[in-house]
Chain A
C-alpha cells in the first residue's frame, strides 16, 4: 500500500490495530503515525522479536522508527506519556520523546481529571460504565463546558460549579495560562475530589513537558501517513451502545478532517472473533470462546472490568462498516485461531476460512493478515487477488473485476 491509511477498529477495541500499524510501518514506507482520537486509555500491543510494548500515547509505529503526531483530537496525559517514554527506552528506543509531536490544541488530561473520573466511576457502584479510570471522559466532558453555568446538565452530567476554559497542550508553553486554567479546573472539581491539588507543581511539570516534546500549531501531514485509531467503532460516542461507550469519535471522521480532502484508504481491523472489556452488550458472547483464546496482554482492569469473548458477529461487523461510511480494505487478526463460528442473522455457522468469508461479507479485500502476536506473524498483502489495489482501482467503491 502506498497511500495514506486510516486504521479503524471494527469491534469494541482490542482488534489488533497496534500490530497492524506496526506491520504497515515495518517496511519503512511510512513517515508518520497520527493519532486521531482517544487518549492515554489506548493499549495497542506490538511484539517485535523479543520486544513487547503496549502503546498508549506513542504511535504503534515507534518500534519501526516512525514518529508520532498527536492531533488536536487526542487527549494528552503528560505524566503517563513520560512513563511510556521510559518503558520504550527500557526496550531500546533511543530518546522516544524526540519522536513525538503534539498539536497545541489537543486537550490536556490532568491528575484532576483522573481523580474526578475515578470518583465518579466508583460512585456508580454496580452500574459501572467500564471506564479505564484514566480521565478520558472527564477531559472530554470538561472540554464541553465553555459558557455553561453551574447546575446545567451537559451530556447527562450536572455542572458542579463555574467551569473555566479547558487546558490544552499549548497552554503548557505558557505557565501563566496554564496556571489560570488549572486553578479554575481545580476549583471546579473541589466538590468531587477535594482541594489538595498542587497546581504550582503541575504548572512546573507541564512546562518541562512542553520543553521535551515538539508542540505544533499547523498540519503535520508530510509524506505518507498512517492514522492510528484507538478503541473500536462499537464504542464510538455516536454509534456505540450507550452508556458503554467512549467519549471519542472512533470512526474515520476526525482523520478525514485532518486530511482535508487528501485521499486515504480506510482499513477496518477485526479479529476472527469478537472481544470486549468490561460491561456492555456482546451479543455473541460465549465462555467457550473465552476459554479457548486466553489473552496474554489483556486482563481484568480495576476500572475496566473483565475481558470477554464471543463468536464473530456478521451483523455487528456490517454495522461498524456502515458507521465508518464504508471501508477500503480489511485487516484480519488472530487468523491462527481455528474451529471458529460466525453468528449470522440465521444463527451460528462454522467459519472455515475467515479471510474469504469476510471479503465476501463486506465486499472488500483483506489487505493485512495477522496470525499471531508478533510482527513476524503479520503480512501486508500488496496484491491480494489482483493487481488492482496498487493501481488504485480497488476498494469498496469499485466493483470486483
Chain B
C-alpha cells in the first residue's frame, strides 16, 4: 500500500469491489434519502456542529503537509461534481505528488448547501492523505435541494475554514493552504448568526458581512471559486461579477465540469510555481486528461494566465493584499 501513502490501485480496487457489490459510490446519501426528511443529517465524521478544530498536521510520513480543502455546493444543479471528484480523486492526488507539485498534499472534503432551506447546509470532513479521503467523499450527503434564491451558504463554509481549521503549514511554516469552493451561485447577503449557532455551534450573536469572512480567510488560505458549466448560471454575469469582486482572478470558470480535479491540480502546480500553464497542460495530458486539459487551459487562460510571461506563476497572488476585497 505504498507505505502509508495513497495507492491508486488499492483505491481503484476498493471502488471496483463496491461497484460489483451494487453499492453506489455515495452509499450514505442513498441510505439517508430513504428516510423521512426530518431525520436527514450529515454523516458523523462530516458534521461541523461543535467541532473545535479540523487539523492538517505533519507526520513522519508527511513532513511537509499542505492542506487542500475542497468544498462543493451539493445542491440540485451541482450534485454531479462530487461524483466526478470521487471518480478522479486518485488522479488528482497522484498528479500532485508524482509531478512534484506538492510533497505531502492532505485533502479535506466538504459539502455546502443552503442554510435557509436545507437540513444539512454544511458538511466538513477531516484532512486525509490516504484512501480515507475516498471514504469521506462517499459519505458526503448530497441533499440536492437548494433554495432557488440564486444563493447558497458558501460564506458559512468559509467561516468554518477561517475559524475552525488549523494547519501545520501555516503555524510552522507560514504557508497558506488551498481552499477550492465549487459552486454556481452567490454568497448569502449576510452570514446569519442564527445559522452559525445552529450549524456550527459557535456562540455568535451578530450577523457577519460575508466579504469580511473571505478577507479573514485569505490571510491563511489561497481561496478559489470554481464555477463549472453545470447550470444556467454559468452564463450569468452577475455570478462572475460577485465572485471576482471578492476573489479577483481566483474566480475560475470551467466549461467542462468533468475537468474539476484537473483544474485544481493545475492551479496548485502553478501557484506553487512548479509549472507554468503550458507544462501543467502537458502533465494533464500525460495522465490521460487530454480533453480535460483543454478546459483547464481555457479556465486559466480566461483569468489572464497566458498573457503573463511564462516564467511567472500566472496565478501568483501571495498574501492578502493581492486579493481583491471590497
Contacts and interface: CB of A to CB of B under 8 A. Distances in A.
Contacts of A85: 16, 20
Contact of A194 (B3, B12, B20, B21): B3
Interface in A65-113: 78-79, 81-83, 85-86, 95, 97-98, 111
Nearest to A86: B16
Nearest to A195: B3
A79 B20 contact: no
A337 interface: no
Nearest to B21: A211
Output the residue of B4, B7, B14, B131 with the most chain A CB within 10 A: B14
B45 interface: no
Contacts of B7: 111
A86 B11 CA distance: 13
Interface residues of A, number: 25
A206 to B, nearest CB: 9
Contacts of A83: 9, 12-13, 16
Contacts of B13: 78-79, 81-83, 205, 209
Contacts of B14: 82, 204-205, 208
A212 B22 CA distance: 9
B204 interface: no
Interface string B240-272: 000000000000000000000000000000000
A142 B124 CA distance: 43
A79 B9 contact: yes
Output the residue of B4, B14, B17, B18 with the most chain A CB within 10 A: B17
A365 to B, nearest CB: 42
A82 B21 CA distance: 12
Contact of A208 (B1, B4, B9, B21): B21
Given A79-B13, A111-B10, A209-B13, A198 B20 contact: no
Interface string A18-37: 00000000000000000000
A58 to B, nearest CB: 13
Contacts of B20: 85, 95, 97-98, 212-213
B4 A198 contact: yes
Given A86-B16, A98-B20, A211-B21, A79 B10 contact: yes
Interface string B1-38: 11111010110111011101100000000000000000
Nearest to A115: B3
B1 to A, nearest CB: 5
B61 interface: yes
Contacts of A304: none
A201 interface: yes
B134 to A, nearest CB: 10
Across chains A and B, which 7 residue pairs bring their CB atoms closest together, nearest first? A196-B3, A82-B13, A212-B17, A212-B20, A82-B16, A208-B17, A97-B20
Interface of A: 78-79, 81-83, 85-86, 95, 97-98, 111, 194-198, 201-202, 204-205, 208-209, 211-213
Given A201-B1, A208-B14, 17 more contacts: A78-B13, A82-B12, A83-B9, A85-B16, A86-B12, A111-B1, A111-B2, A195-B3, A196-B4, A197-B1, A198-B1, A201-B10, A204-B14, A211-B17, A212-B18, A212-B20, A212-B21
28 contacts: A79-B13, A81-B13, A82-B17, A83-B12, A83-B16, A95-B20, A97-B16, A97-B17, A111-B1, A111-B2, A111-B10, A195-B3, A196-B5, A196-B61, A198-B4, A198-B130, A201-B1, A201-B130, A201-B132, A202-B1, A202-B10, A205-B10, A208-B14, A208-B21, A209-B13, A211-B17, A212-B16, A212-B18
